A and B are shown apart, each in its own frame.
Chain A
């Protein structure tokens, strides 16, 4: 039975006295009462102790709350990711309708709509042109009225850019007056660069006619490496957070145990003391829960400043789902209680002190190895055979495998520390003191260090994955971008228009060469009873003799000549001279077109393409024609295909070319390898991860300081005695350093091994060469070393304070 005061007996009513009598008569040898009421009362008592423990108690509670708050903030952030992505995708779906499947007829409520996306100094800009067909066109979200002809609505970020000196070159590309800004509902995020402009000339075949905005669209599934990265990041971030929460609720446990011994002295049973202890931890974790929620709400205000993988969101998007938030709210305090109860296993709080009745734990290796081994068993088969595919089973296997591997590291560390320190003998006094201390009890040090181990292992693995992916893209772009060249393509109306475009490009600053043709598909004439797709269409390039000579070896050429190629890849049936073909051949299955017969001239000569092939930079034309040989107006969707070479030494040559292209045709598309779009996001994610890992390490360092200082505090009498013996401060300072350094160094070694193995597995899964990000490995281990020095340096002042003779006073 617990001796704690009972509220029932304190009532001032007439029954109060009788209740007290009944309580007093209760058989003292009766079985102790249990049940929710007793639990509630004891937990409440613990909370009262934690709240009423004076300054020292509040410091302990604050430390626990700070650790838990951090964990809660990260958990809430993680819980917000699904809703964040939903909100982001939802706005994209609501504002888009490129390529409406069934185009409506022109009406008062329709408009023509086209994409005019561009890139400015590596940053993508989303552009849309509209031309209403009537007075009541649909408007996209975030827009009250469409802008008038020659005007545009811009996102606030784009307005800021255009108003700045850096945006001067971009203003030439967007020749519209700013009529207003687009509201948040029409933006993916606050940093998005986007505009909607009204063109007075937008007409078929450019763009699409639509009668509404918003479309049924499922977001493209994330690419395999990105999925791996997200899973890995969640695991690597959340595991140290769980470790940190576990460490935080143990702060000040020794003093708590002494207080509990005092409770035992007045008759509290063991169960009661455990529940009271849980109540104390519960109080800290409840405060941490509130603090974490506040930290999360405050932290999400910085969401607009962060762009990861092109995703930039509003603070309101970062909202955890109700189920996830409830789970966090329930699980964190429950975890605090469970960790406290778990920490108390093997100890009995007796009335005169704490008895550690558990024999020194012989840490067993088998189950500690089993965890990472099981993780490796789940992961290694994923590297066999085909490249990893994103299926629910694979995702679960990967998440479980990496989680087991990382948690296995935390389980292996105590064994490793024990195994190493038990073999260490001799050495100078500081070393001996540290080693002996760890031999006796390495638990609290390894608990905190295991957080470092997971964070470093995770960071190394993720960085290896990122570096591998980034290096892959960089190599591909470096290969494609070896020649400084931009490809442009757009709807072609005439050869003369294409020639004018080439002339304008030639005159652009930094352009060294510009060439191009008008390309189209031609096909066999449709015949009754014959399926339309029984013959592959032929590809046709129309250009001047000079342009055609860049594609093939021509014996001689005059305007009006036609050539058929003999080495184009994949041509089943060559297009023969004298054969009548359809210039207006259907391109899509629903393409309703009127046949435009054209007979291949008998004078058509065979020629050989210079670089046959389907790869970028090679050609696969079946037929080459000079402009006078056929009427371009009869072709189905002829396309101007232009290639522009430029001089890298000319500043902003690419931006000047883009400006010229926009003047020629705002809907001109670009393909080039001049901007590696993956480089920026990868670098920003890597930097973000690195900063995250550093913050995690510093936090764990803070936890280590707390546990070290707490340990010193517990031993202040011993420290004073050692001081009385004339022990040098440096001797004990070094012993603190070694005591911190040994587990951290072993933890980092383990983290290195685990991180490199996991990173290699991840790279093998995406068929990438295994490359180690040595600068990061060095930096992470360097920071680990810095944490040791940091912890030691901050532990020295309290150590020296506690070495004062005041500790010897007993009165």
Chain B
């Protein structure tokens, strides 16, 4: 897959934590509405790649372009603003604010974007229904099952109608049944909203939900369909 028409493109990313290189010239691209699974063994640099792509961390060298923007050249404040408006996130653990109800958690990114509370909660409720967890809207994360929590997290990631959803091992803590349901809901919802999904996982069955798979090994990216790009 070439970067042409890509929504998000990374080229020659290098990132090291102390003496240990996490990314060593990694390239990546994703088109709108595409689901790309990023696979690889533990410690291969998958999460670091995701963090660089999302502008959460800055690479030591290389560039990340998002539409007309070069993420690596933006200030921290601009990158934060971009994450609030255009990106959504699902992580494996600890992502829901324990004090807020499920509804408030889903409404949170909308509110951070400046949406009024009532409108944010109305939209959040729609997402909860879509993710089939509207019955637990008033419960707090501590009262939810793992599957329900991840669905809330997916709803939250999609609530702002992001153009890219970054999911880092979203089903890593779930049993297979729940994991599959969450992935179905995530990818279906993303496709409906034409959002690209960067899905970091080490499970082959999770990768089956993607349009394309890439493998990260020793900080380099290999496209399973096109060979080493």
Contact A728 B57 (CB under 8 A): no
Digitize B22-66: 1 where CB-to-A-CB distance is under 8 Å, 0 elsewhere: 000000000000000000001100010001001011000000000
CA distance A473 to B168 in the complex (A): 74
A interface residue count range (under 10 / 10 to 19 / 20 to 34 / 35 or more):
20 to 34
Query: Whole-angstrom distance from the CB of B49 to the nearest CB of chain A?
Result: 12
Contact B112 A436 (CB under 8 A): no
Digitize B86-123: 1 where CB-to-A-CB distance is under 8 Å, 0 elsewhere: 01010111111111100010001101100001000000
Judge whether A650 is part of the interface by a CB distance below 8 angstroms. no
Contact A721 B89 (CB under 8 A): yes
Contact A717 B93 (CB under 8 A): yes
Judge whether B208 is part of the interface by a CB distance below 8 angstroms. no
Judge whether B83 is part of the interface by a CB distance below 8 angstroms. yes
Query: Whole-angstrom distance from the CB of B97 to the nearest CB of chain A?
Result: 6
- CB contacts (< 8 Å) of B54 on chain A: these are 724
Residues from 702 to 732 in A contacting B, C-beta threshold 8 Å: 717-718, 721-728, 731
CA distance A727 to B83 in the complex (A): 9
Contact B99 A725 (CB under 8 A): no
Contact A725 B89 (CB under 8 A): yes
Contact B104 A809 (CB under 8 A): no
* CB nearest neighbor in B for A804: B57
Q: For B42, B54, B56, B57, which residue has the most chain A Cβ atoms within 10 angstroms?
A: B56
B interface residue count range (under 10 / 10 to 19 / 20 to 34 / 35 or more):
35 or more
Judge whether B82 is part of the interface by a CB distance below 8 angstroms. yes
Report which of A426, A725, A808 forms a contact with B168, defined as CB distance below 8 A: A808
CA distance A724 to B83 in the complex (A): 7
Judge whether B226 is part of the interface by a CB distance below 8 angstroms. no
Report which of A437, A717, A718, A726 forms a contact with B81, defined as CB distance below 8 A: A726
Residues from 723 to 743 in A contacting B, C-beta threshold 8 Å: 723-728, 731
On whether A808 and B82 interact (CB within 8 A), knowing A433-B100, A436-B99, A718-B94, the answer reads no
Judge whether B84 is part of the interface by a CB distance below 8 angstroms. yes
User: Would you call the interface of chain A mostly helix, strand, loop, or mixed?
Assistant: helix
Judge whether A365 is part of the interface by a CB distance below 8 angstroms. no
Total A-B residue contacts, Cβ distance less than 8 Å: 78
Report which of A433, A805, A810 forms a contact with B92, defined as CB distance below 8 A: A810
Judge whether A429 is part of the interface by a CB distance below 8 angstroms. yes
CA distance A731 to B84 in the complex (A): 13
Contact B99 A808 (CB under 8 A): no
- CB contacts (< 8 Å) of A436 on chain B: these are 97, 99-100, 104
- CB contacts (< 8 Å) of A721 on chain B: these are 89, 91, 94-95
On whether A726 and B84 interact (CB within 8 A), knowing A433-B99, A718-B97, A721-B95, the answer reads yes
CA distance A492 to B14 in the complex (A): 105
Judge whether B194 is part of the interface by a CB distance below 8 angstroms. no
Report which of B89, B112, B169 forms a contact with A731, defined as CB distance below 8 A: B112
On whether A725 and B42 interact (CB within 8 A), knowing A718-B94, A809-B47, the answer reads no
* CB nearest neighbor in A for B76: A729
* CB nearest neighbor in A for B111: A429
Judge whether A440 is part of the interface by a CB distance below 8 angstroms. yes
Contact B94 A811 (CB under 8 A): no
- CB contacts (< 8 Å) of A429 on chain B: these are 108, 111-112
- CB contacts (< 8 Å) of B140 on chain A: these are 440
Judge whether A439 is part of the interface by a CB distance below 8 angstroms. yes
Query: Whole-angstrom distance from the CB of A737 to the nearest CB of chain B?
Result: 16
Judge whether B80 is part of the interface by a CB distance below 8 angstroms. yes
Judge whether A432 is part of the interface by a CB distance below 8 angstroms. yes
* CB nearest neighbor in B for A731: B112
CA distance A470 to B30 in the complex (A): 79
CA distance A723 to B109 in the complex (A): 11
Q: For A721, A724, A726, A805, which residue has the most chain B Cβ atoms within 10 angstroms?
A: A726
CA distance A724 to B118 in the complex (A): 24
Contact B42 A811 (CB under 8 A): yes
- CB contacts (< 8 Å) of B109 on chain A: these are 725-726
On whether A437 and B95 interact (CB within 8 A), knowing A429-B108, A727-B112, A811-B42, the answer reads no
CA distance A717 to B51 in the complex (A): 14
- CB contacts (< 8 Å) of B117 on chain A: these are 426
CA distance A429 to B112 in the complex (A): 7
On whether A725 and B98 interact (CB within 8 A), knowing A429-B112, A808-B168, the answer reads no
- CB contacts (< 8 Å) of B111 on chain A: these are 429, 432
- CB contacts (< 8 Å) of B95 on chain A: these are 717-718, 721
Digitize B135-174: 1 where CB-to-A-CB distance is under 8 Å, 0 elsewhere: 0000010000000000000000000000000001100000
CA distance A77 to B92 in the complex (A): 54
Contact B47 A811 (CB under 8 A): yes
- CB contacts (< 8 Å) of B87 on chain A: these are 726
On whether A433 and B89 interact (CB within 8 A), knowing A725-B83, A725-B112, A805-B57, the answer reads no
* CB nearest neighbor in B for A809: B47
Query: Whole-angstrom distance from the CB of B120 to the nearest CB of chain A?
Result: 10
CA distance A811 to B54 in the complex (A): 19
- CB contacts (< 8 Å) of A809 on chain B: these are 47
CA distance A811 to B17 in the complex (A): 12
- CB contacts (< 8 Å) of A432 on chain B: these are 100, 104, 111
CA distance A218 to B180 in the complex (A): 88
- CB contacts (< 8 Å) of A433 on chain B: these are 97, 99-100
On whether A808 and B91 interact (CB within 8 A), knowing A433-B99, A439-B99, the answer reads yes
Instruction: Give me 17 A-to-B residue pairs in the complex whose CB atoms sit less than 8 angstroms apart, sorted by A's number.
Output: A429-B111, A432-B100, A432-B104, A436-B97, A436-B104, A437-B99, A440-B99, A717-B95, A723-B80, A725-B112, A726-B80, A726-B83, A726-B84, A726-B85, A727-B80, A808-B168, A810-B47
Q: A718-B94, A724-B56 are in contact. List 12 more A-B contacts (CB 8 A).
A: A429-B108, A432-B104, A717-B94, A718-B95, A724-B51, A725-B109, A725-B112, A726-B83, A727-B84, A727-B112, A808-B51, A811-B47
The 8 closest A-B pairs by CB, nearest first: A726-B84, A726-B83, A436-B99, A717-B94, A726-B80, A805-B56, A437-B99, A721-B95
